[in-house]
Structure 1
Amino acid sequence: MLAAFLDDIRDHDIIAPRLMAERLRLPMSQLAKLARVNRNTMTAKPASPAIQAKLGEIARIIARAAELAEDEGRAIIWFKYQPLPGWGNKTPEDVVEEGYPDAVMDALERMAAGVYS
């Protein structure tokens, strides 16, 4: 699933912010906020290692969720709308935006192991 998702959001050797925003159905300003980078910097220097690392975190989360859900569309809906256990009413998108993408990946790995809380 990771390869298919990355193929859809990649432009040559980089994750293209515009393609990722389209795939996640987000405006560029929201993707920049989610990645915790300046929108202008993300647009002007999409190949920068810092921006690629932030976008890569998001891509890995979506790809892992897609593996578990067996559907990329469901994974995106989960990411945007499903409250994450242990985080109150915050969605995975909210948690990533707050700077905790590893917590979302940990939650996905717990789900994969059959632990849902």
Structure 2
Amino acid sequence: MAHAQLPRSKAFSGFVDSQHEPGTPCISPKRLSQALGVKLADLTQLTGVHRNTLRNPSSERLQGRMREIVKVISAAMELTGDIDKAIYWYRNEPIAGYGHRSAAELVADGQVEAVLAFMRDLENGARG
């Protein structure tokens, strides 16, 4: 059965597709760590999961945390227009209103909604 593709930018679509673990409906921890420029073992810090969780890539907790990372990078991509800039921002840009912590640090601490709210504020400020 074919599935419908929702519209999204070509660059981001390519990024999401490149994170797919072939033969599964899962995000590949190895591929995501490569895209983020970190060692696989360091992905545990970015996802906030125990290192042993990486042994079970289909773990719902791990998959959920990786989906959060992809969600924030998607929003950053909409703001920056470039996947590399979005990943750089995610990993490195300090956010003043959150103790100068990066989006990656905040997401690892489970503060995805705070990061998305910050990004909505940026987008709304840029538009109006």
Do the two structures share a fold, i.e. TM-score over 0.5?
Answer: yes
Higher RCO (CA 8 Å, separation ≥ 6 residues): 1
Identity of aligned residues (%): 28
TM-score (norm 2): 0.81
> Which residue number in structure 2 is paired with residue 47 of structure 1?
58
Q: SS of the residue aligned with 1:67?
A: helix
Unaligned runs of 5+ in 1: none
CA RMSD of aligned residues (A): 1.5
Trace 1:105-116 onto structure 2 (pairs within 5 A).
105-114=116-125
**How many residues of Structure 1 are paired with residues of Structure 2 in the alignment?**
114
Query: 2-side partners of 1:67 and 1:4: how far apart?
Result: 14
Query: Offset of 1:28 from its aligned partner?
Result: 1.6
Trace 1:57-96 onto structure 2 (pairs within 5 A).
57-96=68-107
Query: 2-side partners of 1:87 and 1:20: how far apart?
Result: 25
Q: SS of the residue aligned with 1:10?
A: coil
Query: 2-side partners of 1:78 and 1:99: how far apart?
Result: 18
> 1:4 pairs with 14, 17, 38, which one?
14
Quick one: which amino acid aligns to residue 98 of structure 1? D
TM-score (norm 1): 0.88
